[in-house]
Amino acid sequence: MGTKDISILAIESSCDETSASIIVNGKVLNNIVATQSVHEKYGGVVPELASRAHQENLIPVVQEAILSSGVSKDQLSAVAFTRGPGLMGSLLVGVSFAKAFARSLEIPLIDVNHMQAHILAHFIEDPRPAFPFICLTVSGGHTQLVLVKSHLEMEVIGETQDDAVGEAFDKTAKLLGLPYPGGPLVDKYAKEGNPKAFKFPVTRMPGLNYSFSGIKTAVLYFLRDQLQTNPDFITENLRDLCASIQYTLVEMLLIKLKEAVKQYGVTEIAIAGGVSANSGLRNTLAELARRKGWNLYVPKFEYCTDNAAMIAMAAHYKYLKGEFVGLDVTPLAKMKL
């Protein structure tokens, strides 16, 4: 390592993954993630338990990131952390640690917007999208269409007005009696089902905005009516139900994406966020891109879910611009892109 190297430790603790990563001169060296299984029995993330698990996991995760990178803490140029959006208690653990660590080493602090980092996950490895590109960011808490003009200049051109698509997956999975997190299970069963077996309504919103709360209600009433005549309806039709729900949700995402491409004339298309790991979305989007002649960018699975490598990538570009924060920085549960 030379003296001019930009080496950053990045920390991600916005929800239920504790992660640390080291990046040197824009090259991610590692991505250490500790996943919390404590939430499964509760059917969702319990904020208080998440915070406690972060407190237990953070130091071992950071230590592993530093040791496996071969970069000593004295060689670090800055410490980066997720400032928001996320669960306040979880964010506090990461922010507090980052402040103390940066202070002890007398190096700068970099705050990162979690949603911006999801988009910048595309710059961890080749192929990287060219600017401007449109990114469809889909996760448990967010669904956004973003016009990305440069590494740090982004404009939200459409977003959900209620539930995020990840919530829609998890809530409908719950109605089907599937354990949490239900989204990946819907994906799994959908592979063996008929996507046209049942028709669910596609919610239309003005502009490029989304709404996903309607499908949950539609599925709820549909199942209620079917179960009255056949108590085994869900068990007998689980694969077709999953395939039909997934088909509808993917269709809703892509209708607006097509409109955005038309409106902005941009054909560099990226997807990001946890739901971009969904095979139904990946396959349908790949087929659409092929038909339309779009250049499509999909990150590796490990960079789709919450991870510190994407935080490190965002921090690298902020470091180059000298965008640092003071020790008075506070986490934000809600944070605009």
Q: What DSSP assignment string belongs to 190-248?
A: HTTS-TTSS--PPPP-STT-B--HHHHHHHHHHHHHHHHH-TTHHHHHHHHHHHHHHHH
Statement: residue 3 has pLDDT above 70: no
Residue 36's pLDDT is 75
Average pLDDT across the chain, whole number: 95
User: What integer pLDDT is reported at residue 14 of this predicted model?
Assistant: 95
Buried b (16+ CB within 10 A) or exposed e, 133-172: bbbbbbbbbbbbbbbbeebeebeebbbbeebbbbbbbbbb
> Average pLDDT in the 273-278 region?
92
Q: Which amino acid is it at 81?
A: F
Q: pLDDT grade, residue 96 (50/70/90)?
A: very high
The Cα 333–Cα 230 span in angstroms is: 44
Place of tokens 């008075």: 328
Residue 180 CB partners (closer than 8 Å, separation 6+): 39, 40, 42, 43, 44, 170, 173, 174
Burial (Cβ within 10 Å: 0-12, 13-18, ≥19) of residue 192: exposed
Q: Taking phi first (over 0 means left), then psi (-120 to 50 degrees means alpha), and beta for anything else, what does residue 77 get? A: alpha
Mean pLDDT, range 100-126, rounded to an integer: 97
Q: Are strands 268-272 and 295-297 parallel, antiparallel or unpaired?
A: parallel
89, 117 Cβ separation under 8 angstroms: no
Angstrom distances, CA of residue 104 to CA of 64, 101, 270, 308: 19, 5, 39, 21
Eight-state DSSP code of residue 169: H
- In order of 77, 196, 212, 243, the CA distances from 280 in angstroms are 41, 13, 17, 9
Residue 50 CA to residue 304 CA, distance in Å, equals 20
Given a cut of 60, whether residue 2 has pLDDT beyond it is no
- Cβ contacts of residue 97 below 8 Å, gap of 6+? 11, 58, 59, 62, 81
* Lowest-confidence region among 39-43, 102-106, 119-123, 254-258: 39-43
Query: pLDDT at position 40, please?
Result: 74
**Secondary structure class of 185 (helix, strand, coil):** helix
Span 72-88, mean pLDDT?
A: 97
Cβ contact 210:252 at 8 Å: yes
* 208 φ/ψ sector (left φ>0, alpha ψ -120 to 50, else beta): alpha
- Does 1 score more than 60 pLDDT? no
Per mean pLDDT, which range of 5-9, 93-97, 164-168, 227-231 is the poorest? 164-168
Confidence of residue 150 (pLDDT cuts 50, 70, 90): very high
Nearest to 23 by CA among 320, 260, 310, 234: 310
